[in-house]
Structure 1
Amino acid sequence: MLALRLTFESFRFAWDALKSNLLRTILSLLGVTVGIFSIIAVFTIVDSLEANIRSSMNFVGDKVIYVEKWPWTFGPDYPWWKYFNRPVPSVREFQELRQQLSGNNNGIAIFAAKNGNTLKAGSNSMSDCAVLGVSYDYRVVSSVPLATGRYFTNQEMESTRPVAIIGATVAENLFPQGEPLGREFKLRGLSFVIIGVMEKEGKKLLDTPSNDTNVLVPFGAFVKLYGLSTTGLGDGPSPRIGVKGRNEDAGLLDLEYEMRGVMRNIRGLKPRQEDNFALNRPEMIAGQISKLFAVIGIVGGIIGSFAILVGGFGIANIMFVSVRERTNIIGIQKSLGAKNFFILFQFLFEAICLCLIGGLAGIMLVWLVTLIPQDALPLAMSASRIILGLLISVGIGVIAGIVPAVLAANLDPVIAIRAK
C-alpha cells in the first residue's frame, strides 16, 4: 500500500508540474504529436492501401485453385510459346473432376465470361456489361453478395432456364424506377428474368472487375448464347474451373496435389510428360502483396521514426531543464524522507505524461484525416495502430525521461537544497 501511495503521489507531483508550466508543456509535446502523427499516418495509409488492393482482388476468390490453360506467372525456364498448344478446360473435365476429387474441397464450379454486351429493358439499355455463365457452386468459389432476391436453384441450372442475377449498376440503369426482381431484360435477343440483384461494390482502387456491371446466368444458357472456345485463342469464351479448398488444408497443398493427379489422369498424360494445364492460386498474388507491403511498412516506419526521434530529444531536453529548475524542491523532498524511487517516478511520469498527451493528439489528428471523404483511397485507422501509437508514446517517454529522472533521484539532498 505504501508503494502504491508513493507512486500515486509521484504521479500527482508530475501532473502539477506540467500544469504549472502549461506553455512549455504544450511546446514540448508538439514534437511528439508530430512524430506520432507521422508514423501512425504512414502505417494507416499503408494499411488502407493494402486493404483496398486486396479488396480489388476479391474477384479471384480466396482459397481457390483454378484450372486454366495459361498460368498467371511465366517461369524463366519455360518458353511462353509452348502454352499455345495447351487445350482449354472443358465441361467434360469439369464433370470428371467433380466425380473423381475426394472430399478435400468445399465445391467445384465451371464458369466463363463474355465482355462488351448490351442489355435492353424497354426503352432503357446499358452497354459494356460482362456476362458470366456459372455452374451451381460458383457462389462457393467466388463471392456473390446478394442485396435482394435469391441465387440459382439446381433445377434452373440443369434446365438452363433464362434467369439472371444482375449487378447494382445494371439494375440502376435498366430499371431506374421500380423493383427489378421478376422483370425481364433482353440479351442478344433472348429474354432473361431477374431473380437477384448483387450488392453495390463501387469503384475499386485498381479498377479490377466489379460485380456492379456483371450479369450471372446459368452456364448452359451462356453456352447457347456464345459457345465455348476450344483453343483459348479468341474463338470464343474460355471456360475456367475453380475448386474451393478447405480451411484445414494449409496452403491448399493437398488439394493441389490431388487436382494435378486427377487432371493428368483425365488428359492421359504419361509420367514423363509435362502438365498441359495450369493450376493457379490467388495465394500467389496475396503472397506478393504481403511481401511488398511489408517492405513499404518498414520503410514508412523508418521515415516516421525520425520525427519521433526529434520529439524524443525535445522531451529529454525539457526534462533536464525541469530537473535543474526544481533541484531545490528535490532537496527539500529528500530531506523530508522522500525515497529515490519517489523522485525518479516523479520525473519519469512527467515525461511519460507529456508523450502520452502528445501521442493522443497525434492519433486524434490521424483519425480526423480518416474522416475526410476519399473516393480514390478511403482511409481507416485500426485499433492495433492506436495501441501501437500509445505504446510508442510510452516508450519515448521512458527513454527520454529515464536519464533526467535518475540524475534527479541521485542528487545529494544537502547540495540540492543549497542550489539556486
Structure 2
Amino acid sequence: MLFFQLTWESFRFAISALKSNLTRTILSLLGVTVGIFAIIAVFTLVDSLENNIKSSFSFLGTNVMRVDRFPFASGPQDYPWWKYFRRPSATVAEYRFLEQRLGSAEAVTISASATTTVQAGSNAFQGTQLTGVAYTYQDVYEIALEEGRYFSEMEINASRNLAIIGKTIAKTLYPNQTAIGKEIKMKGMKFIVVGIFEEEGEGLFDLPSKDEAALIPYGAFTKLFYTGRNGIEPTIAAKGREEDIGLVALENEMTGLLRAKRGLKPVEENNFALNKTEFIQNAIGSIFDVISAAGWVIGGFSILVGGFGIANIMFVSVRERTNIIGIQKSLGAKNYFILFQFLFEAVCLSLIGGGTGIILVYFLSFVQLGSLDLVLSFSNIILGLGVSSVIGIVSGIVPATLAARLDPVEAIRSN
C-alpha cells in the first residue's frame, strides 16, 4: 500500500509540475510527438501497403504448391530460362496420378487460364480472366460466392457449360437484374451462370481480380482453348496440410511421384519446378522489413532530439525545485520518492508527446489514398506508447538520480 501511495503522490507531483510550466512542457514534448508520429506513421503505411499487396496475391492461395516449368526466383542470379523453357508442361494424367497417390496434401487440383470476352445480348465485357477448373479447385483455393453455388462434381465430370462470374462482369452484362440463371457467351459457346463471386473492389496493382474473372469446368475450357505443350499450359496445384511446416513433406513426396511419373533416372535432374505461393509473400515481407528499418532511422533522429529536450527540461526542473527537494527530505521523504517524482514527470511528458503523435497518425488514417486503406493497428499503438515510455525513462533517469542524491541541508540553503 505504501508503494502505491508513493507512486500516486509522485504522479500528482509530476502532473502539477507539468501544468505549472505549460509553455515549456509543450515545447519539450514536440520532439517526442514528431518522432513517434514519424515512426508510427511509417509503420502504419508499411503495414497497410504490405497487407494490401499480399491480399492482391490472394488468388495464388495459401499453403499451396504449384507444378510449373519455371521456378520462382528473386534477386540477381543466373536464371537459365532456356533450360526451363524446354521442360514438359503438366498434364491431366499427372494430375490424376498425384490425386490418387499424394498423401501429404489436403487436395490436388488442375486449372488453366486464358483471357477472353464475355457477351450477353448487346452487352460485352472484355479482358475476362477465364479459368477452367477441376472439382477440387475449391479445396485448394478460396472460392467466396455472393450469389449462387459452385459446380457439382457431376457437372465438372460431364464438362457442362456452366460459369461462375465476377461482380463487375455480372453488373456489365446484366446491370439491372441478377445474372444467376442467365445465359452468357464466350467464343460463341453458350454458358449458364450458376454463381457470382463476392466483390473484391479495386486493388493496389493491376493484378487478377475475381471481379473480372470467371470459372468454368475444365472440360468446357478445353472446348474453347487448346491446352497442352503448344497451347495453354495447365497448372497442377496441391494444398499442404497445416502441420506440414514449410511444405517440406509435400515437396519431397511430390518430387518423388513426379520423377517416377516422368520416368526420370536417379542421375537426371528434375524437369519441373515446385513453387510455393508463400515465396512471393516472403519476398514482399523482406522488402518491407528494409522499409521498416528506414522508418526507425527516420523517426529515431526526431526521438533523439525529443529525448535531449526532455532531459534538458528535467535538469532545469531539478535546479528550480532544489529548495523544495530539501524541504521534502527534511520532512522524511526517501530518495526513491524523489527519484519517482522526477522520473514520473519525464515519463508523463514523453507519454503525452507520444500519445499526441499516435492521435495524429489516427487522423492520418482517414486520408484517402486511392485503393490503399490506412489502418492504425493495436500493435503499433502499443509500440508507440512503449517507445515513449522508454524515452521518458532514459531521458529522466539522470536528472532524477541527481535530485534524489541532493543533501537536504544544502538543498534548503540554495536559492
Smaller-chain TM-score bracket: over 0.9
**Hey, what does 1:197 align to over in structure 2?**
196
Question: How do 1:202-217 and structure 2 match up within 5 A?
Answer: 202-217=201-216
SS in 2 for 1:106: strand
Is the counterpart of residue 360 in structure 1 residue 343 in structure 2?
A: no
1:14 aligns with 2:9: no
1:183 aligns with: 182
1:331 aligns with 2:331: no
**1:350 matches 2:342:** no
Matching of residue 291 in structure 1 with residue 286 in structure 2: yes
Is 2:364 the partner of 1:378?
no
Once the two structures are superposed, what CA deviation does each residue of 1:350-393 show, in whole Å capped at 9, x if it has no partner? 11111111111100100110111221432112111100100001
Cα deviation per residue 1:92-144 (whole Å; 9 max; x = unaligned)?
A: 11111111212x111111000011x1111122111111110001111222222
1:77 CA displacement: 6.0
Following superposition of structure 1 onto structure 2, how do residues 244-283 of structure 1 map, counting pairs within 5 Å? 244-283=239-278
Deviation digits for residues 267-315 of structure 1 (CA, Å, limit 9, x no counterpart): 1111111211111111222222222222221222122111110111111
Q: In the aligned structure 2, how far is the partner of 1:76 from the partner of 1:32? A: 44
Alignment of 1:164-183 (within 5 A): 164-183=163-182
- Show the counterpart of 2:40: 40
Secondary structure class of the residue paired with 1:371: coil
Determine helix, strand or coil for the equivalent of 1:86.
coil
**How far apart, CA to CA, are the structure 2 residues paired with 1:105 and 1:30?**
56
What is the rounded CA distance, in whole Å, between the counterparts of 1:137 and 1:293 in structure 2?
34
SS of structure 2 residue aligned to 1:130:
strand
1:92 aligns with 2:93: yes
Task: Report the more deviating stretch, 68-77 or 216-225.
Answer: 68-77
CA distance in 1, matches of 2:298, 2:190: 59
Find 2:310's aligned residue among 309, 315, 319. Answer: 315
Q: Distance between the aligned counterparts of 1:390 and 1:362, measured in 2? A: 10
Aligned to 2:217: 218
In 2, Cα distance between the equivalents of 1:3 and 1:63? Answer: 52
Please give the alpha-carbon distance, in whole angstroms, between the structure 2 residues aligned to 1:73 and 1:416.
69
Q: 1:77/1:346 Cα in 2 relative to 1: closer, same or farther (>3 Å)?
A: closer
- Fraction of identical pairs, as percent: 56
Cα offset for 1:78? 6.3
The 5-angstrom pairing of residues 21-170 of structure 1 reads: 21-73=21-73, 79-102=80-103, 104-115=104-115, 117-170=116-169
Partner of 2:295: 300
CA distance in structure 2 between the partners assigned to 1:414 and 1:77 by the alignment: 77
Q: What is the alpha-carbon distance in structure 1 between the residues aligned to residue 98 and residue 22 of structure 2?
A: 74
Unaligned segments of structure 2, at least 5 residues? none
**How far apart, in 1, do the equivalents of 2:180 and 2:255 lie?**
42
In structure 2, what residue type is equivalent to 1:215? A
Distance between the aligned counterparts of 2:35 and 2:203, measured in 1?
31
TM-score (norm 2): 0.96
Do 2:38 and 2:295's aligned partners in 1 also have CA atoms closer than 8 Å?
no
Question: How far apart are the structure 1 equivalents of 2:297 and 2:353?
Answer: 20
CA distance in 2, matches of 1:123, 1:90: 37
Return the match for 1:391 from 368, 376, 386: 386
Helix, strand or coil at the partner of 1:191: strand
In the TM superposition, residue 146 of structure 1 has moved relative to its aligned partner by 1.2
User: Quick one: which amino acid aligns to residue 223 of structure 1?
Assistant: T
Query: For residues 35-80 of structure 1, what are the alpha-carbon distances to aligned partners after superposition, in whole Å with 9 as ceiling and x for unaligned?
Result: 1101111111111121122112212111111112222239956632
d(CA) in 1 for partners of 2:221, 2:292: 45
Matched to 1:344, the amino acid is: L
| Aligned counterparts of 1:321 and 1:2: Cα–Cα separation in 2 | 29
CA distance in 1, matches of 2:407, 2:77: 73
Question: Once the two structures are superposed, what CA deviation does each residue of 1:215-243 show, in whole Å capped at 9, x if it has no partner?
Answer: 10010110111121324xxxx21100000
Distance in 1 separating the partners of 2:150 and 2:366: 36
276-285 or 321-330, which moves further after superposition? Answer: 276-285
The alignment yields a C-alpha RMSD, in angstroms, of 1.5
Q: Distance in 1 between matches of 2:11 and 2:350?
A: 14
Is 2:129–2:208's contact at 8 Å kept on the other side of the alignment?
A: no
Paired AA for residue 81 in structure 1:
W
For the residue of structure 1 that corresponds to 2:49, the secondary structure is helix
2:226 aligns with 227
User: Secondary structure, in 3 states, of the residue corresponding to 1:381?
Assistant: coil
- State the distance in 1 between where 2:215 and 2:302 align: 52
Assess, with a 3 A threshold, how the Cα gap between structure 1 residues 218 and 385 changes in structure 2: closer, same or farther.
same
